[in-house]
Structure 1
Amino acid sequence: MRRLLDALHDPADLADAVRDPRVSLSRHELLGRAAALARELDGARTVAVHATPGVETVVAITAALLAGVKAVPVPPDAGELERAHLLRDSGAELMLSDDPGAGGTIVPITRKRPPGDVPAEPGPDTAALVLYTSGTTGPPKGVVLSRAALAADLDALAEVWQWTADDTLVHGLPLFHVHGLVLGVLGPLRLGSRLAHTGRPTPQMYAATRGTMYFGVPTVWSRICAAPAQARELRSARLLVSGSAPLPVPVFDDLRALTGQAPIERYGMTETLITVSTRADGERRPGHVGLPVPGVETRLIDEAGGIGHLQVRGPTLFDGYLNQPPREDGWYTTGDVATIGPDGWHRIVGRASTDLIKTGGYRVGAGEVEDALLLHPAVREAAVVGIPHPDLGEQITAYVVADSVRGEELTAFVAERLAVHKRPRVVHLVGELPRNAMGKVQKAVLKHG
């Protein structure tokens, strides 16, 4: 197997290989700083990284991967209880951070150090990252990802997105999730492309930073579409990639109109990395996430009415949860509900726990109702959940951010476009929807009040 950070070792140096609004490093400078820091990690098994949005985090993660120790990214805004849980559960012996108050035993990232030799490449089955994912029934769980899984996914996406060393990736996403860290940092380091991290994913920063590829979550793309002048600055880009949550069809359409190209959508989760995607040289279909990436298989189980529970298998899957038995090989149940068309195209309906609504003997996908609501010109955002109901089992309930419209109008609007049993029985007009750091609507908050 090639080295995980393959292009970082390329003797052909690349100026400003990694940059943020304050700092720019060539490939040679990044490798030198990371190798010097890696020498201080000798003997450690697990290190935490205070994952601030900038070059410092890139250096720290690279150092941990060079040293062959597990890296645990810690959100910079983590509360005291969350940070304590991550450090205790992961057993991290050190915290890589320039903030003395970050917690744990601090090792500064940017301190000047004498040059260090690049360690030998660990085996492909060596655990590389532990990414914590929020559960609905307890504290966050550590997802263990091997070097082989990371490499397999990045190579698959390189093929699907035609991602090469000639690209410059621009994004301002957090560096403690798959989207911003694995795809947004390790991708360029493996494939040799430049990375420009904007610090924050604002329309102004994206418009001011020239690149060929831009990553964003739906909230980012929605805000860019609301700033047409900034959106038009992205017309020279080769790819606009959206993920981490479903992209509303109106935002898809607005992006296409403003930038001259439809966005790429893809699907994945922390435990599986990215398993389904639209291709750079293929169709881009609104409301759909495309086809399985090379090496990955998918299937639906418990299918009814064309909707089923999505399972995946392939080389991108995680090893298991930290401090729990290893994951068994084979099919992994994602917990998401999907449809797969005759042509193999996937549409993600949502989470089985919140987005598959069983009402009056029917199965209704929340995403289908949300898409219908978003077609109304007054509606800016919509989230649909099933609320327990004594007669129906679950009642379709919508939470809508809209201007100058009544709930009854929206119910009738959906009933005209979908089967009547799919209409929301109740519509709550709200000022905003609760979202997490990646822009995903927190439906459990809506569902449970």
Structure 2
Amino acid sequence: MPRLLPALLDTPDRPALRFGDRALTHGGLAAVAAPLAARIGGASRVAVWATPTPETVVGVVAALLAGVAAVPLNPRSGESELAHIVRDSAPEAVLAAADAELPPALARLPRVDVDADAAVPAAVPSLPPEPDPATPAFVVYTSGTTGPPKGAVLPRRAVSATLDALQDAWRWTAADTLVHGLPLFHVHGLILGVVGPLRRGGAVRHLGRFSTEGVTRELASGATMLFGVPTMYHRIAEALPDDPALAQALAGARLLVSGSAALPVHDHERIASATGQRIVERYGMTETLMNTSVRVDGAARPGTVGVPLPGVELRLTEDDGVTEVPPGDPEAVGEIQVRGANLFLHYLNRPDATEAAFAPGGWFRTGDMAVRDADGQVRIIGRRATDLIKSGGYKIGAGEIENALLEHPGVREAAVTGAPDDDLGERVVAWIVPADAARRPTPRELADHVAARLSPHKRPRTVHYLESLPRNDMGKILKRALGDV
């Protein structure tokens, strides 16, 4: 059976990962992970204290070798959320760096210290047999915006299917070295950003903490790819005018990828203008891993998340969740539904939620609303619950209004929501962080700006001004918190 991580044995001398001045080859990673895999073998699940360190990678690789599902834990989670995840997932141990301080919520779990600097034997170790592709590889907890976080059980086949589909879309090879500074407790930072390079036989350099200086250093010293989220690329766009070394480093990269939320078109344009590089966007979820991507061999399409990846079926449906939106109409809004080998197995301990998540025929209901351009490119307009505004008989996507607002020179950040309206059903509400608090654009000015770029019915009718927008660890705007700001 083909291995999930073949390079551990096939190319043991190639660099695999680097965190600062700590590095391991593929063979070295196998050597330190194999004894740990033997120690945890036979367990159903183990928690991994997912700090941005080599120990997290060693712990995850050990779990993958042993065929044990890894439950990555966010070190910044609150005590009640951690307690819920531990109760729900019932891990048989927690893997952590020896010097990591664990919170009380983990006190009852047996602790297994991980040593990424252990002496590496000269010979490549023997590894356990490859588990069945249906074996759970990860239990990753959702953000819990509509209740306690749910554990999405991801099989090994979903991991390999997604990473191999991205190999095709991005021409991802063993020659690539990836740079990122993302957290390691979710699918973007951990599965794409760590397991992805390891499966390809390439390398990952983790910055520990994102900085434009770190991006410059790594891309200028042989790295070929950068993964980031819109907040990171916004900081890059802001820094570029005064940082020629950053512009040169980005210009030399093979691939720049943004995900986890939509990248504003304004930031696309600023980075392209300064570097000649386009940002490739992709679309995925915890439950589905990756669904679509802009292809490196396709045309640049800022504002879209590309086309379905190989092996992924995608359709848009009406509000009933069953009737398909007719293809070819770029104005027809529908909910994205997907099916394929990339899907999760189920929500742990939640058969009710699992059943509700699927439409007849095995289609997963993403809750994301989108349109498809005439050439099949998917353009997401937002979440059904927070980003679809039904106003005056129109279905309006918050994302396009946010992009329009960000084109105004007086706007630094923008979010758009809907609010109940006796006449319209819902009205468009804008939440603005001004570029200059002393000279903020007026509501009328912003409304006229949006109306001129989009259409009058999409203009904001209420404007709130903030010092900053509430965001999570990934930089996503927490729209449900805006009403409390």
Q: Common fold, TM-score beyond 0.5?
A: yes
Q: Quick one: distance in 2 between partners of 1:208 and 1:433? A: 30
Question: What do the CA deviations read for 1:93-123 (whole angstroms, capped 9, x no partner)?
Answer: 1000122425222100117589764111110
- The change in CA–CA distance for 1:443 and 1:100 in structure 2 (over 3 A counts) is closer
CA apart distance, 1:133: 0.5
Q: Are the aligned partners of 1:398 and 1:428 in contact in 2 as well (CA < 8 Å)? A: yes
Match of 2:467 among 431, 437, 442: 431
1:233 corresponds in structure 2 to 249
SS where residue 40 of structure 1 aligns? helix
1:359 corresponds in structure 2 to 391
CA apart distance, 1:26: 1.2
Please list, as runs of the form range in 1=range in 2, the aligned pairs for 1:3-402 lying within 5 A after superposition: 3-14=3-14, 16-98=15-97, 99-102=100-103, 103=106, 104-110=109-115, 112=118, 117-210=126-219, 211-228=223-240, 229=243, 230-302=246-318, 303=325, 305-325=331-351, 330-402=362-434
2:480 corresponds in structure 1 to 444
- Residue 88 of structure 1 aligns to which amino acid in structure 2? R
Q: Are the aligned partners of 1:47 and 1:70 in contact in 2 as well (CA < 8 Å)? A: yes
Q: Quick one: distance in 2 between partners of 1:235 and 1:369? A: 30
Task: Establish whether residue 417 from structure 1 lines up as the match of residue 453 from structure 2.
Answer: yes
Q: Quick one: distance in 2 between partners of 1:363 and 1:268? A: 23
Q: Are the aligned partners of 2:139 and 2:153 in contact in 1 as well (CA < 8 Å)? A: yes
Q: Quick one: distance in 1 between partners of 2:312 and 2:205? A: 29
Give 5+ residue unaligned stretches, structure 2: 319-324
SS where residue 233 of structure 1 aligns? helix
CA apart distance, 1:21: 0.9
Q: Quick one: distance in 2 between partners of 1:436 and 1:12? A: 37
Q: Quick one: distance in 2 between partners of 1:92 and 1:113? A: 28
- The change in CA–CA distance for 1:310 and 1:11 in structure 2 (over 3 A counts) is closer
- Residue 32 of structure 1 aligns to which amino acid in structure 2? A
Q: Quick one: distance in 2 between partners of 1:11 and 1:396? A: 55
2:321 corresponds in structure 1 to none
Q: Are the aligned partners of 2:12 and 2:25 in contact in 1 as well (CA < 8 Å)? A: no
Q: Quick one: distance in 1 between partners of 2:23 and 2:465? A: 46
Q: Quick one: distance in 2 between partners of 1:137 and 1:426? A: 26
Q: Are the aligned partners of 2:404 and 2:453 in contact in 1 as well (CA < 8 Å)? A: yes
Q: Quick one: distance in 1 between partners of 2:376 and 2:296? A: 17
Q: After alignment, is 347-356 or 407-416 more displaced?
A: 407-416
TM-score when scaled to structure 2? 0.89
Q: Quick one: distance in 1 between partners of 2:232 and 2:391? A: 33
Q: Quick one: distance in 1 between partners of 2:149 and 2:315? A: 27
SS where residue 124 of structure 1 aligns? coil
CA apart distance, 1:360: 1.7
Q: Are the aligned partners of 2:178 and 2:204 in contact in 1 as well (CA < 8 Å)? A: yes
- The change in CA–CA distance for 1:383 and 1:100 in structure 2 (over 3 A counts) is closer
Q: Quick one: distance in 1 between partners of 2:212 and 2:343? A: 33
Q: Are the aligned partners of 2:28 and 2:120 in contact in 1 as well (CA < 8 Å)? A: no
CA apart distance, 1:324: 2.5
Question: What do the CA deviations read for 1:119-166 (whole angstroms, capped 9, x no partner)?
Answer: 111100000000000222211000000001100000000010000000
Question: What do the CA deviations read for 1:3-25 (whole angstroms, capped 9, x no partner)?
Answer: 111222214521x3200114111
SS where residue 28 of structure 2 aligns? helix
Aligned length: 448
Q: Quick one: distance in 2 between partners of 1:257 and 1:54? A: 35
Q: Are the aligned partners of 1:36 and 1:114 in contact in 2 as well (CA < 8 Å)? A: no
Q: Quick one: distance in 1 between partners of 2:32 and 2:146? A: 40
Q: Quick one: distance in 2 between partners of 1:101 and 1:350? A: 36
SS where residue 334 of structure 1 aligns? strand
Q: Are the aligned partners of 2:11 and 2:201 in contact in 1 as well (CA < 8 Å)? A: no
Q: Quick one: distance in 2 between partners of 1:281 and 1:333? A: 29
Percent identity between the aligned chains? 53
Q: After alignment, is 360-369 or 262-271 more displaced?
A: 360-369
RMSD over aligned Cα atoms: 1.7
Q: Are the aligned partners of 2:48 and 2:95 in contact in 1 as well (CA < 8 Å)? A: yes
- Residue 276 of structure 2 aligns to which amino acid in structure 1? G
Question: What do the CA deviations read for 1:292-323 (whole angstroms, capped 9, x no partner)?
Answer: 11011111111495111111111101101011
Q: Quick one: distance in 1 between partners of 2:314 and 2:227? A: 25
- Residue 212 of structure 1 aligns to which amino acid in structure 2? T
CA apart distance, 1:233: 2.1
- The change in CA–CA distance for 1:275 and 1:347 in structure 2 (over 3 A counts) is same
Q: After alignment, is 176-185 or 385-394 more displaced?
A: 385-394
Q: Are the aligned partners of 1:275 and 1:296 in contact in 2 as well (CA < 8 Å)? A: yes
Question: What do the CA deviations read for 1:246-278 (whole angstroms, capped 9, x no partner)?
Answer: 000011011111221111011111111111000
Q: Quick one: distance in 2 between partners of 1:161 and 1:61? A: 25
Q: Quick one: distance in 2 between partners of 1:258 and 1:423? A: 31
Q: Quick one: distance in 1 between partners of 2:465 and 2:101? A: 44
Q: Quick one: distance in 2 between partners of 1:379 and 1:88? A: 44
Q: After alignment, is 152-161 or 385-394 more displaced?
A: 385-394
CA apart distance, 1:362: 1.5
Q: Quick one: distance in 2 between partners of 1:284 and 1:8? A: 35
SS where residue 130 of structure 1 aligns? strand
Q: Are the aligned partners of 1:408 and 1:427 in contact in 2 as well (CA < 8 Å)? A: no
Question: What do the CA deviations read for 1:59-104 (whole angstroms, capped 9, x no partner)?
Answer: 0000001011110000111221111111111010100012242522
